[in-house]
Structure 1
Amino acid sequence: MTDVTTSVARPAVPAPRESMARRGSIFLSKHPRVRLSLILSAPLFWLGLVYIAALAALLITALWTVDSFTGQISQTWTLDNIITVLTGSLYQTVTLRTVGVALLVTVIDVAIALPIAFYMAKVASPRMQRILVIAILMPLWASYLVKAYAWRSVLSQGGIFDWLVSPFGGQSPGYGLPATIITLSYLWLPYVILPIYAGLERVPDSLLEASGDLGGRTFPTLRLIVLPMIWPAIIAGSIFSFSLSLGDYITVNIVGGANQMLGNLVYTNVGAANNLPLAAAIALVPILIIFAYLAAVRRTGALNNL
């Protein structure tokens, strides 16, 4: 008798489907623009929420008024606050003073930062470069208020600065705009040195050697070769010092005495005067100034190489 073996056919096992993650990865690899949009969506959303929405709220608040009897904010839109800021002699004077201080601080910081950054990038040894970078970053670890009050003590009458210059017939500037400019220049100097140092590091040493081999002197080499190459870095540092000086008000209160800047007017109207719409209108002025500064810099083409 012959055994008949009956084989039972097994159902075919389907191939495992690709997971959603794998299919999404394949799709994103084939569509780089979609991948870039997803990467930028979160920071752009945060930028729009925190910055652009805040600017819109600031502009809307500047169009409101404060009831002179109740002190309550009236949400009736009007241009009175903006007209007052643009036409008032006090605000024009303070605006010119603020812009002048910011420009002078920027010029001082750039003039000090250039030789320091050049020495760090082209002269100092690698070990000395690290030491100098740490030395420049160390003031940033200290409190802003501690540094401002330290300069108040240094520049006050009978302070350290007065003690140093009195044998030569000099005296301390005391409280006022000179003390404000000195303190702001010290506070923002690291923000100017580091971009210029990074720009100088990208300048090839071979260019400087070639200029020396061809008989180029030091200052023509710096002016004709180095300066055009590091101009974007100088612009980047100037943006830091100019914008930070433009909106500062704490340093002016500590070392500036009665000299007011735009930040002080904003603080006064928010606190003592309780006039938030007027404070918002004043706050629009430094924003417009920095936008105008960035537009002027952009026309030079320096931002294209950052």
Structure 2
Amino acid sequence: MTAVSPPSRRASAFFFRKPKLRLGILLSAPLLWLGLAYLGALAALFITAFWSTDVFTGKVVTDWSFDNFVTLFTDSVYRTITLRTVGIALLVTVIDAVIAFPMAFAMAKLASPKAQRILVIAVMTPLWASYLVKAYAWRTLLSGNGAISWLLSPFGLSGPGYGVAATVITLSYLWLPYMILPIYAGLERLPDSLVDASGDLGARSFRTFRSVILPLAFPAIVAGSIFTFSLSLGDYIAVKIVGGTSQMLGNVVYDNIGAANNLPFAATVAIVPVVIMLVYLAVVRRTGALNNL
């Protein structure tokens, strides 16, 4: 008599023959959670943006209108804050890319394997520290009587104090590891033979960098820029700590949720970074950089 396989073994054999079905079942739970928690929250945010708040009772009025969008796009204050937020996010991304590239190149191509592991841990170590601790540390450094002003005082200079410059410095420090690690991973995959071949063909160092290294590392730079740009775009805590009187879009959202008690307008402002990131990702995708990640 032929032995009958137990149901568990038959099910295992069935799923082994159907790898796509197996993958779909494994991903069903996280995809369902993503759809409900993230996409559902975005849908609720978009819907709330068309509502309003009763100025007398403070309750949300579910009458549909474009008043919040009209206020956002016609008020010069909010236009200025939007431009400032985008400008800070772009500047932080550029600064981090300029600082991160030589560091990542040294880690990937100049350091020994043992030193690479140590340097990767060193880059990741700041990520284990509290965000607030690092932000308040920069507040102390950037203050009028802080360490930076003390170092610059012999030259007749002073520190930047609190404001946009302090915000850029703080955010650049906070998000720098998110730029270093993708670039390091991209440069580590870069074959040394290509660099050697460029030198053998007579290319100087700058030509090798411009024609060989930079194009191949560009997707990794784009990957890092997505992190630094998006994180800077939505930040509001660092601006509260070192920004002085400066505001970003995140601060407008926070203030309208709390003190102003105007949730619909906060939702309207919160849509702006989402749209900006969608446009940014669309532009990046057109460059083809994401296809090589």
1:191 aligns with 2:178: yes
Q: Name the larger-Rg structure.
A: 1
Partner of 1:122 in structure 2? Answer: 109
1:200 aligns with 2:187: yes
**Can you list the C-alpha shifts for 1:148-184, whole angstroms capped at 9, x where unaligned?**
0100100111110001111122210000000000000
Identity over aligned pairs, percent: 65
Partner of 1:248 in structure 2? Answer: 235
| TM-score with structure 2 setting the length | 0.97
Q: Which moved more, 1:74-83 or 1:116-125?
A: 74-83
1:291 aligns with 2:286: no
- Distance (Å, rounded) in 2 between the aligned partners of 1:296 and 1:213: 36
Partner of 1:211 in structure 2? Answer: 198
**Can you list the C-alpha shifts for 1:126-159, whole angstroms capped at 9, x where unaligned?**
2221221121111111110010010010011111
Paired positions, count: 293
**Can you list the C-alpha shifts for 1:44-101, whole angstroms capped at 9, x where unaligned?**
1111111100100111111211111111111222221122212222111110000000
**Can you list the C-alpha shifts for 1:176-208, whole angstroms capped at 9, x where unaligned?**
000000000000000000000000000011111
Partner of 1:4 in structure 2? Answer: none
1:275 aligns with 2:277: no
- Distance (Å, rounded) in 2 between the aligned partners of 1:190 and 1:147: 13
- Distance (Å, rounded) in 2 between the aligned partners of 1:16 and 1:130: 53
Q: Which of 107, 119, 125 matches 1:138? A: 125
Q: Which moved more, 1:196-205 or 1:121-130?
A: 121-130
1:59 aligns with 2:33: no
Q: Which of 98, 110, 115 matches 2:85? A: 98
Q: What is the SS of the residue equivalent to 2:159? A: coil
State how 1:17-36 maps to structure 2 within 5 Å: 17-36=4-23
Unaligned runs of 5+ in 2: none
1:167 aligns with 2:176: no
Q: Which moved more, 1:72-81 or 1:281-290?
A: 72-81
1:224 aligns with 2:211: yes
- Structure 1's consecutive aligned runs of 4 or more residues displaced over 3 angstroms after TM superposition are none
- Distance (Å, rounded) in 2 between the aligned partners of 1:208 and 1:150: 41
Partner of 1:3 in structure 2? Answer: none
Partner of 2:68 in structure 1? Answer: 81
Q: Which of 251, 275, 280 matches 1:264? A: 251
- The CA RMSD over aligned residues, in Å, is 1.1
| TM-score with structure 1 setting the length | 0.93
